[in-house]
Structures are given as structure tokens and as C-alpha cells.
Amino acid sequence: MNAPQKPQHLNTPHTNAAWHQRRLDATPRGVGVMGDFFIERAKNAEFWDIEGRRFIDFAGGIAVLNTGHVHPKVQAAIAAQLQRFTHSCYQVVPYTEYVALAERINAILPIDGPVKTAFFSTGAEAIENAMKIARSATGRSGVIAFGGAFHGRSMFAVAMTGKVQPYKAGFGPFPPEIYHVPFPCHCASLDDTKRAMEQLFKCDIEPNRVAAIVFEPVQGEGGFNPIQPAAVKWLRELCDQHGIMLIADEVQTGFARTGKMFAMEHYGVSPDLMTLAKSMAGGTTLSAVCGKAAVMDAPSPGGLGGTYAGNPLAIAAAHAVLDVMAEEKLPERAQKLGDELIARLNAVQARSKRISDVRGLGAMVACEFVDATTGAPDADTTKKVQAAALKRGLLLLTCGVYGNVIRFLFPLTIEDAVFAEGLDVIDASMAEVLA
């Protein structure tokens, strides 16, 4: 009788190169992967690959790990819930922790009046449901978003996304009645946006057919572009004038990243709806739509939900995340770390004309690279800085419509010594590339 074969996943060699080839053979190229190494274990702002190499993580799972890798309190909360139950489907057999988490989030939202919260699994799922709620509440169908926006990869979410490559190319046609105007940030004026909106209302859709205007307080994939404060107030007035829902997409900006629990707190404006996800649940899959109670109640029972929406393990993790945010004062720490990073980047910018801008709110910071002579976006230099940092063991992400922006998304729980080490790597990497 032949001896049983080892499972395929245990076959040797257990090296990055071998697994990289297996990945290419087993998974589609459409799932783009930045690294050619594979994570083995992680702690706070550090991880180690399967060959034992150490990395400092300034990517945070794309803004998911504000409380770090495997925070002890988050880990303990998940472990405790794992002993009780892992799934019932909230719409079939509800559980108290879901309701309690909604109450906790409702209490801290920057939305005026009574509010309610519904939980889902991903940011894209949250934004899709926010659109359903807005359409149900208004009886309208039109949606206005912004150039450079990123709202997710599902079909309606990617239609709202204002960046073609790689998110929209080859996937059309998209759902109708979605319109884009310039985003009022450092790269477009509020007057530009106002003129585009006026043109939109004259040529494409009348205001009384628009259900919602959706925006990111700081654009993520678009380049870490903070919206102009005056623009937020203008959007609120515009929506009030025409009965349009104002939706703040805080999937990436939420949960202390910008120096406040939610980025909308910087603007003093109350949206009608907000979408949350990413760092909400310490690396587990959880998202939310939150908003004014009357608006949230517009869909009929059964109109919202999902089989895995508000998964018990993720709900437990989110309770722990809220505890950690308060106990470790992570919004304040985000501001402190962001200020330190900006100071270091400003020092580099003073020595190089190839950095055109250093910007951000709190610890949601980015620097933009351009050609020193022409001022054109320089994606090549951006990639070289990213590669130089990775060679030194620091993981960075790029973004921007032109791919010429490096964004920084380290855990807010990062140890001071590890943070200082990361900043030194940034200095060395930029010195190498920009010399």
C-alpha cells in the first residue's frame, strides 16, 4: 500500500521564490500583488516573512491596522468570541454584541440628531448599501462623486470611483446616472468644482433627480488629498438646497487615522450618511453604514443585510478596537506621529525639487514626486523610493491618479523606536534615489 502523500501546501521548498511561482500558477494576474515575499507572523508594526526577514510595516494592510498587527486586546476578544459562536446570520438569530456596537458608534459619530448604524463586511459593500439607502430615502437615482475618488471594486462602487487604471479599465459598461466633478483639494479649486457642478446640473441631470453626493474627506487612492474645508460647507449647503443626501466615505479616514476618530470632525459639518470599514475591526472583515435615523430607516425590512454582515468575531474585535482607541489615546497619537513624519518629509523637500508637496491630516500623510524640470508627475521616482525602502525592510504604498504619491499608513500603536527606525529608512531611501 502506498504511503499517503503530504498535502500540497506542506510541500517543500518553503521559500518565497517557490511560493511566488505557485501563486502565479494558482491565482489570476488580476489580483495584483506588490510583494514577492510571504508573511509568516506579525506583531504591532513589524512582520516577518517565511524566510525570517523582518519588515517595518508602514502600509498597515492599506489602512486596516491602526491598532497594529495582533493587538493583545483584539486577539483576546476574538478568542473569547470564538469559544461562544462564530455565526448565526444576524438577520436570522441576532446577538446583543451587534446592537451594543451600533450604540457605541452612534454615540461618537459626527452626525447631528438621532442616528442608526447597520453593519456589513467590506467598504465596497458599505458604499453600495449607502447608495441604496440614499435612493430609498429620496426616491431619486442620480449620484455625484469626484475625480480621483476610490469607493471600492464592486460594480456600483467602481463606477463611482474616479480613477480608471486599474479599477475601471475593461469592466464597463457601468451603472447609469453616476457623474463626476473635480475634487476641490490642492489640485483643483473650489471654483472649478462649482463651475463643473453648475455645468452638470445644466447639461446632464437636474438637481431634483440627484439622490446623493459622496466624497472622501481625504481621498485615499486618489493621492491622500484633503478636501478644502470651505468645500465641505458648500457641499452641505448645496445638498440642503436641493434635498440631496451628503455621504462621507470614511472607510480609509476613520478610526483615528487623521488625528480625530473621524475626519469629518475636522470640518464641523454633519453628513447625512457615513461609511466605515478598514481599521474598524483590527484586521477582521467589518464595515458599517451610519446615518440620520430617519434616513437609515427608509429601506423596508429585508432591504439591507447580508449573510456575513456583522460577523460575530469582527463585532467582538471592533468592541476591542474602540477600547484601545480610547485607552491608548490613538487620535492624539496619530497627530503626534503625523507631525513628526511631516517634519522629516519637509526637510527632504527643502533639499529636493522632486518633491512637490507634503500633505495630510494627522497620520494620513503623503508626499508627491514630480520631474524637477517640468513639474510633471514622476511615477518612476516614486517606485524607486518605494523599492529602496523595501530593500531596507520598510513597506510603503503608492497612490495617486498618476502613481506619483507615497502614502504612509503605519499602525498608530507603533513603538517610538520602530517609528524612528522607519523614518531613518525613509531618509536613507530618499537620499539614495533623489541624490
Closest CA to 131 of 108, 115, 152: 152
Amino acid 187: pLDDT = 81
Task: Calculate the alpha carbon distances from 64 to 36, 120, 165, 244, 356 in Å.
Answer: 21, 16, 23, 30, 28
Cα 408 from Cα 62, distance rounded (Å): 9
Q: Which three cell numbers stand for residue 365?
A: 500623510
The residues of the chain scoring below 50 in pLDDT are 1
What is the percentage of the chain residues whose pLDDT exceeds 90? 94
Range of the domain at 21: 8-63+329-434
Of the residues 327, 348, 381, the one at which a domain ends? 327
What would the pLDDT profile of 187-238 be if each residue is shown by its tens digit? Answer: 889 999 999 999 999 999 999 999 999 999 999 999 999 999 999 999 999 9
Pair (239, 320) in one structural domain: yes
Of the residues 274, 299, 327, the one at which a domain ends? 327
Contact 51, 39 (CB under 8 A): no
Amino acid 1: pLDDT = 47
What would the pLDDT profile of 300-331 be if each residue is shown by its tens digit? Answer: 999 999 999 999 999 999 999 999 999 999 99
Of the residues 272, 301, 327, the one at which a domain ends? 327
Pair (25, 166) in one structural domain: no
Quick check: is 70 in a domain? Answer: no
Pair (349, 305) in one structural domain: no
Quick check: is 85 in a domain? Answer: yes
Pair (47, 138) in one structural domain: no
Pair (211, 286) in one structural domain: yes
pTM of the model: 0.95
Contact 67, 413 (CB under 8 A): yes
CATH number of the domain residue 205 falls in: 3.40.640.10
Contact 211, 143 (CB under 8 A): yes
Pair (141, 275) in one structural domain: yes
Amino acid 12: pLDDT = 66
Quick check: is 276 in a domain? Answer: yes
* Contacting residues for 289 by C-beta, under 8 A, at least 6 apart: 117, 118, 120, 126, 129, 130, 133, 273, 274, 275, 276, 296
Pair (240, 385) in one structural domain: no
Mean pLDDT of the chain: 96
Considering its fold, how many domains does the chain have in total? 2
Cα 132 from Cα 138, distance rounded (Å): 10
